[in-house]
Structure 1
Amino acid sequence: MPEEEEIEAPVTHRLEPQISSTHRTVSSDHALREHILSQSKLWEWDVFKLEEVSGRKPLMHLAYYLIQRKNFFQIFQIPSGTLKNFLIAIEAGYQMDVPYHNSTHATDVLQAVSYFLEKEKMQGQITDLEILASYIAAAVHDHKHPGVNNQFLVATRNERAMLYNDRSVLENYHVSTAWQVMMQPENNFLVNLPEEDYRLLRNQVISMVLATDLAGHFSTLSAFNNKVLGTNTFDINQSPEDRAIFFRILIKCADVSNPARSWLVYTSWIERLIQEFLNQGDEERKRGLPVSPLMDRSSINIPAGQIGFIDVVCAPMYESFTMVVGAPEMVTSMKKNRAILMRMRDNEIPPLRLGENGRVIQRVRSTIRIAGSTTPPVQPTSSSLLQVSAISVLARPAEDSASKGSTE
């Protein structure tokens, strides 16, 4: 394998957490962290709280907690110290100065995967080995992400694009580098797996991570929807093909679950995503490349861009996926968030937008610093006028109906 090349990614500023005085003792941090982890079974879970109390190392804590909760240490004879080594090494591979594709995102995806697999409709349908493989896939799916996308790597003729022949460059790289970590004896927590189980697990992890490449989104979703919505023949217990595609859709839904989260968590992810997008757009302009859609700070429309992503990518997948796993709450939350974005797009309420200097995203009166800032971002739990606006937006339809005498 060629010597690893450092990608010249756009310059960003580290987003430091705002830790309150109540979280400064080791004992209180531990108690709060355990409480936050215990809440990870809820869809309303806020990953940013774990990011804060873990010192921006949330992935190791959640992954270890979930594996312990499932009794996998005993079931698969996993050495606890070796697992910790692996998780620490994997988390270290995520660049925390990459605004979006960092270990907090991986933690969020891991929680979503765990949540879906815990749904009542899935009980007794998925094996322990498949659950473990799903956890690993979620944890490593963006390992060593450089903060730019596949198109950028191909356009700049990056060595990784050459290595993977321009096909799913990052996704191949993520799973390959993660497995190189696994193969170090001090990190190989799968050492006691029987050979057949190891082969099945590795194949599932590879399949799931490669599925996160949006280039293959529509073909994967079409195959899934044809059987779930079309012929009504989707059956993971009878068809190995259906079982494989289920796990691909599982991680894809988890990977783009932001629009289905609470409004405050969703907008916090938007802030990080837009920062990463604009950084790439700035780098493309500097290199004389065409600036990618949604990455041009001179023309970006945040509400419209998010509505388009929800309508084209998320909604068609969420709706069919929830028929299989039984998670209508994600569709409900997505629709609420979309309604707010629609009002922003139509100027009924102040929108999420770039500031006049082109360097900030504004939450009405609270500003979220982007590139070139020395001020930490507002955290999801921080008070801002946008929170008030969001609450009033959700309440307004009921008020309007009442004023019109509606009986709905």
Structure 2
Amino acid sequence: EHIRRNIEYAIAVMESRYVNRVVEIPDDEVPATLSGEGPVPPEIKRWLVQTFTSRRADVRGRKESETRRSLRSVVHAVQAGMFVERMFRKTSVGVQNLPPEVQEHFKNIDSWSYDVFELDRISDGNSLKFVFYELLNKYDLIRKFKIPLKSLFAYSARLQRGYRKYNNRYHNPIHAADVAQSLNCLLVSSGFVHWLSDLEMFSMIMAAVVHDLEHSGTTNTFHTNTRSPLAQMYNDKSVLENHHISSAFRLLNEEDCDILVNFSKDDYPSKEARTLMIDMVLATDMSQHFGQVKKLQSNLQHPESLEKSRAMCLMIHSADINHPSKQWELHCRWTERLVVEFFEQGDQERKLGLPLSPLCDRHTTMVAQSQIGFMDYVIKPTYDVLFDIFRNVNGPVVRDAILSLRRAS
């Protein structure tokens, strides 16, 4: 009876708070601090502007969907009984599908200091495969969507093969596993996991594991400057990101790889699930970074207007760039790998007679200062916004629920 009254009270609170309203700002707005004077060298500022901004006119004025996926949808979830199920969600066992050493390692999968390199070692290079399985299993999505294990492991094997296509030092299956695991940490530690439907949870996990599929080890700028086939296919717009998500969907058509075979027509191929996956992967395009962060900063002036899908996109993006926020050993290891890819791109640009991209010249790049600039101008502002989302959106609901519980007792 206490639970019933508290849930009814929670519904009333959320109905009064979450209004479907959006405040728009230009996608390509850059923080004023970036154009001012600061300790970061000009080359690094140029890299930040080139990498994390976009001035394409076509992204302006784009109409929002008539049916926005706002945070008000959590009310509908409560009324349908989903919210209660999320709060008491139980992990499936599935022991027979994981090696014992991997099972033991996964006891810390909710930890921000989780060592995905060690997982890759003990799993014989199958970190992505096992993280994908573990997260789907953890949230009982394999059972709920009747995902055939044969198809799941076949699809995972194809994903790992696709990530190894160019033998990248950084953008490889270990990175994809790390992003998925970090996303899980954000969902669990924030409580956001309780707000998501099963379909939204599946979409987020799926987006995390495929977000860099068949990455070439070079940037979008390199593709456009060299007029690569991918750049021509996608008209220079989020070239790699469009390729990643397109490849992920295309893999589902390969033999024994259709993990969505038992999804109901209401779930997939539904416009919501497909749109969510596409939006989240495209949100990992670094050129959209400042616009994405500024738009959410504006939305947070009126937290009730924040769309859930925008928060989901920022969480994927934050998980993608997570390593400077991890402990030093992990951050240092990821940085060394990323620098290898940058320098290899610079070598290619030098051979082709192209201007070297920022931070890609192995002879002049200051790695330490570049990381300081990245942390100051990208990581900290991003995680500040993420914290504000969790505090301003989750906070009032949690506070009111606690007050309700106290009154009930």
1:128 deviates by: 1.6
1:171 deviates by: 0.2
Is 1:66–2:135 an aligned residue pair?
A: yes
Is 1:300–2:365 an aligned residue pair?
A: yes
Is 1:319–2:384 an aligned residue pair?
A: yes
Q: Which residue of 2 aligns with 1:33?
A: 102
Tell me the alpha carbon deviations over residues 98-147 of structure 1, each in whole angstroms, 9 at most, x when there is no partner: 00000100000000111111125325311121111100000000000011
**Aligned mates of 1:71, 1:307 — CA distance in 2:** 40
Is 1:291–2:361 an aligned residue pair?
A: no
**Aligned mates of 1:141, 1:170 — CA distance in 2:** 9
Contact 1:259-1:310 at 8 Å conserved across structures: yes
Indicate the larger mover: 117-126 or 143-152: 117-126
Q: Which residue of 1 aligns with 2:9?
A: none
Secondary structure of 2:223 counterpart: helix
1:257 deviates by: 0.3
**Aligned mates of 2:367, 2:219 — CA distance in 1:** 19
Q: Which residue of 2 aligns with 1:166?
A: 236
**Aligned mates of 1:57, 1:275 — CA distance in 2:** 22
Is 1:258–2:323 an aligned residue pair?
A: yes
Residue among 81, 103, 107 paired with 2:173:
103
TM-score when normalising by structure 2: 0.69
Question: Partner amino acid for 1:71?
Answer: D
Question: Partner amino acid for 1:219?
Answer: G
Contact 1:211-1:248 at 8 Å conserved across structures: yes
Tell me the alpha carbon deviations over residues 151-178 of structure 1, each in whole angstroms, 9 at most, x when there is no partner: 1111111011000000000000000011
Q: Which residue of 1 aligns with 2:298?
A: 226
C-alpha change, 1:180 and 1:312, in structure 2 (3 Å) is same
Q: Which runs of 5+ in 1 are unaligned?
A: 1-26, 327-408
**Aligned mates of 1:125, 1:254 — CA distance in 2:** 18
Q: Which residue of 2 aligns with 1:399?
A: none
Residue among 204, 208, 211 paired with 2:283:
211
Q: Which residue of 1 aligns with 2:254?
A: 184
**Aligned mates of 1:325, 1:80 — CA distance in 2:** 34
1:185 deviates by: 4.9
Contact 1:119-1:325 at 8 Å conserved across structures: no
Q: Which residue of 1 aligns with 2:122?
A: 53
**Aligned mates of 2:261, 2:255 — CA distance in 1:** 8
Secondary structure of 1:196 counterpart: coil
Secondary structure of 2:114 counterpart: coil
Question: Partner amino acid for 2:274?
Answer: R
Structure possessing the higher relative contact order (Cα contacts under 8 Å, 6 or more residues apart): 2
Superposition RMSD in Å: 1.7
Tell me the alpha carbon deviations over residues 61-85 of structure 1, each in whole angstroms, 9 at most, x when there is no partner: 1110111121112211111111111
Q: Which residue of 2 aligns with 1:194?
A: 264
1:195 deviates by: 2.2
Residue among 201, 210, 213 paired with 1:140:
210
- Between the aligned residues of both structures, percent identity stands at 34
**Aligned mates of 1:172, 1:108 — CA distance in 2:** 21
Q: Which runs of 5+ in 2 are unaligned?
A: 1-95, 392-409
**Aligned mates of 2:104, 2:211 — CA distance in 1:** 26
Q: Which residue of 1 aligns with 2:43?
A: none
Question: Partner amino acid for 1:83?
Answer: L
**Aligned mates of 2:191, 2:357 — CA distance in 1:** 40
**Aligned mates of 1:176, 1:123 — CA distance in 2:** 26
**Aligned mates of 1:157, 1:64 — CA distance in 2:** 37
Contact 2:293-2:385 at 8 Å conserved across structures: no
Secondary structure of 1:124 counterpart: helix
1:227 deviates by: 1.9
Question: Partner amino acid for 1:162?
Answer: Q
Question: Partner amino acid for 1:73?
Answer: I
Q: How many residue pairs align between the two structures?
A: 292
Residue among 113, 127, 134 paired with 2:197:
127
As a proportion of its length, which structure holds more helix?
A: 2
